[in-house]
Structure 1
Amino acid sequence: MAFDTKLKQWTSLGLGTVLMTGALAGCGEATKPADTPAAAEVSETEANSHAGGDHHGAEADAAAPATEAGEGEGGVTIEAAYTDPVVYKSAIAIAAAHVLAARDAYAEGKTEAAAEMFAHPVSEVLFDMEPVFASQGVEDFTGLFSDTSAAVFAGESQEQINARTDEILAALDKAAESAPETDMSDAMVSASVASDQIERASDMYVLSIDSDFYETYLDGYGFYKAAELTFSQNEAAIEAENANAASAIRSALALLAEAYPTALRPDSLDADASALAVAASEVQLELSQ
């Protein structure tokens, strides 16, 4: 089935219907029981109602800034993704963040949250990115997300879910290889993607402080893990080209590690949100030099 046709069908049906139970909620919302209609359906209005991060739920919507023209639900400026490798790869990192969070949530026994997180990137970012991927010759890989979400509901072992996660991450890495080319070095593209994920993780921590929703915290945890993964894969190259930026990223990740110690939300969120915001800004500042 063609990439765009499949996504349109999933959207019109409601993603949760396709994924067995109709139980999927948007990230950052309270987990719904299995007989609740899916909240993953994306209308054109919804797709342009979120910006600046993976913000969902009443509290998050109230905190989200006005959407820029052309932004999808995940706060990605889709038009820019055709020509800007940072925007393109940041969209992919958003999907990876959800997958990493889902894998770790499943390991902690959070089955419903894990299933939601595995499925949500389709409506959160992949639907909007479909024409960009098509223009870059990227083959459809969205079935991996729905299959893994279904596998979670089916009770597959952690080892099986880990293997499925690795398969998704490999598909995302392959899609990243088709990013548009610019004069920016690969190292600085990767550093900028890590910066984007650090900022998202910082923003979600602020939202988590004012929210009881587990998924809000889990979103932030995923963004932190995506930033960590991006940096670890490119640390030597980033260090060689911009040592100050590399140092700022390390410092921000160290603070995020304290804020998001595990995929389980702590009883109290007592990390310094202001320090997180400052650290994220310092990364951006070093990258702008």
Structure 2
Amino acid sequence: MGIRKTPRLLAGVSAIAILGAAGCGESPEAETGTAPQSQSGQSGAESAPESGSPSDGAAEAAPNYAMAGEGEGEGAGGNSGGEFGIDPEAAANDPVIYLTALEVMRAHYVAGLAALEAGERSAGAAMFAHPISEIYVDLEPVIEERGVESFIDTLNAASVAPYEGASDSEIEARVNDVLAALDRAEAAAPASDDMVEVHARVLADLIERAALQYEFARREPAAGEAYLDGYGFAHTAAQWADAHMAEIEGEHGEFAEGARTALERLLAVFETPVPPESYAYTADEVVEASNAVQSALSRL
């Protein structure tokens, strides 16, 4: 399933570029930085898991920092499109991939709102634009097949808002519409015999993404977008944990303990959407906690 750029999407993307040039002198894609590759199969460029079953545990491969950056219309998923290797064809039947795709989208809006509140309007605008071409365009047919109405217009409205002279409150309202649409799409996720494990795997994926972005941001400070991406993943993982940790802990105590430790470290280093002058944990300490989560995941 290649990237399907509908007329409405192209109109939205064109509007971003035109309004960005006129309003800010900078398009949402102006910030650079590459996204590190996750170790798990669904998160990186490796093959996606078999459809209809939860994703496999983490592989032992080292992170690859040479993957494509965001905003180019195609991530590390090869011909399937999708950011960080999210395969829309697999998402049609695999609830882990389906929910992860939507939560990765959510992370961008969480990060974008935080950047906006911190006065980083351009960085926030970029976060609102990326999920459209990187994830949603390929995922839209899957979402519609699940009985959820397309929300491309809602996404476009949020992405162009910073360049239309919208106030912060107006932008926040449009982003909240996106978040509500993501909630509706998640409610229609494919079923699994073990949704607790599904929720654990989505949490582990978000934790891993945040940890790898943090490691990359520390190694390449000039790639400021990596830090903001990591902020979004970390805080979205925390939200996911708030919703699902009790059930996960009831069945997978070791995993839950490791996830709590990883989240504690991630939230400490991603306390704000702007890189701080000093950090509570080293990159090694954060990645080590994430690796412990992946190890526990492999034993579920």
Distance in 1, Cα, partners of 2:8 & 2:83: 16
| Aligned-partner SS, 1:74 | helix
Contact 1:111 / 1:152 at 8 angstroms: preserved in 2?
yes
Contact 1:194 / 1:230 at 8 angstroms: preserved in 2?
yes
| RMSD of Structure 2 on Structure 1 (CA) | 3.2
Question: Deviation per CA, 1:213-249, whole angstroms, max 9, x where unpaired?
Answer: 3222101100111111111111211121212221111
Q: Which residue of 2 aligns with 1:258?
A: 268
Q: Which residue of 1 aligns with 2:6?
A: 8
- 1:157 CA displacement: 4.1
Selected match of 1:183 from 187, 193, 198: 193
After superposition, residues 138-153 of structure 1 pair within 5 angstroms as 138-153=148-163
Q: Which residue of 1 aligns with 2:54?
A: none
- 1:206 CA displacement: 1.7
Contact 2:36 / 2:212 at 8 angstroms: preserved in 1?
no
Instruction: Specify whether residues 191 and 88 from structure 1 end up closer, same or farther in structure 2 by C-alpha distance, changes over 3 A only.
Output: same
Instruction: Specify whether residues 208 and 150 from structure 1 end up closer, same or farther in structure 2 by C-alpha distance, changes over 3 A only.
Output: same
Higher mean displacement: 119-128 or 236-245? 236-245
Distance in 2, Cα, partners of 1:208 & 1:136: 37
Distance in 2, Cα, partners of 1:133 & 1:279: 33
Selected match of 1:104 from 100, 114, 132: 114
Q: Which residue of 1 aligns with 2:67?
A: 64
Contact 1:51 / 1:73 at 8 angstroms: preserved in 2?
no
Distance in 1, Cα, partners of 2:194 & 2:81: 23
Aligned AA (2:126): E
Q: Which residue of 2 aligns with 1:44?
A: none
Q: Which residue of 2 aligns with 1:192?
A: 201
- 1:9 CA displacement: 2.1
Aligned AA (2:228): L
Identity among equivalent pairs (%): 34
After superposition, residues 82-231 of structure 1 pair within 5 angstroms as 82-185=92-195, 187-209=196-218, 210-231=220-241
Distance in 1, Cα, partners of 2:225 & 2:240: 22
After superposition, residues 13-92 of structure 1 pair within 5 angstroms as 15=13, 17-19=14-16, 21-23=18-20, 34-35=24-25, 39=29, 52=38, 63-64=66-67, 67=77, 70-92=80-102
- 1:189 CA displacement: 1.5
Instruction: Specify whether residues 129 and 277 from structure 1 end up closer, same or farther in structure 2 by C-alpha distance, changes over 3 A only.
Output: same
| Aligned-partner SS, 2:271 | coil
Instruction: Specify whether residues 50 and 268 from structure 1 end up closer, same or farther in structure 2 by C-alpha distance, changes over 3 A only.
Output: closer
Instruction: Specify whether residues 137 and 111 from structure 1 end up closer, same or farther in structure 2 by C-alpha distance, changes over 3 A only.
Output: same
Aligned AA (2:156): S
Question: Deviation per CA, 1:71-126, whole angstroms, max 9, x where unpaired?
Answer: 52332022211111000000000110000001110000111111111121101110
- 1:162 CA displacement: 3.4
Q: Which residue of 2 aligns with 1:29?
A: none
Selected match of 2:242 from 229, 232, 243: 232
Q: Which residue of 2 aligns with 1:43?
A: none
Instruction: Specify whether residues 158 and 36 from structure 1 end up closer, same or farther in structure 2 by C-alpha distance, changes over 3 A only.
Output: closer
Aligned AA (1:192): R
| Aligned-partner SS, 2:171 | helix
Distance in 2, Cα, partners of 1:159 & 1:11: 24
Distance in 1, Cα, partners of 2:183 & 2:6: 24
Higher mean displacement: 68-77 or 228-237? 68-77
Question: Deviation per CA, 1:159-217, whole angstroms, max 9, x where unpaired?
Answer: 443333332222111101111112222x2222211111111111111221213132221
- 1:155 CA displacement: 4.6
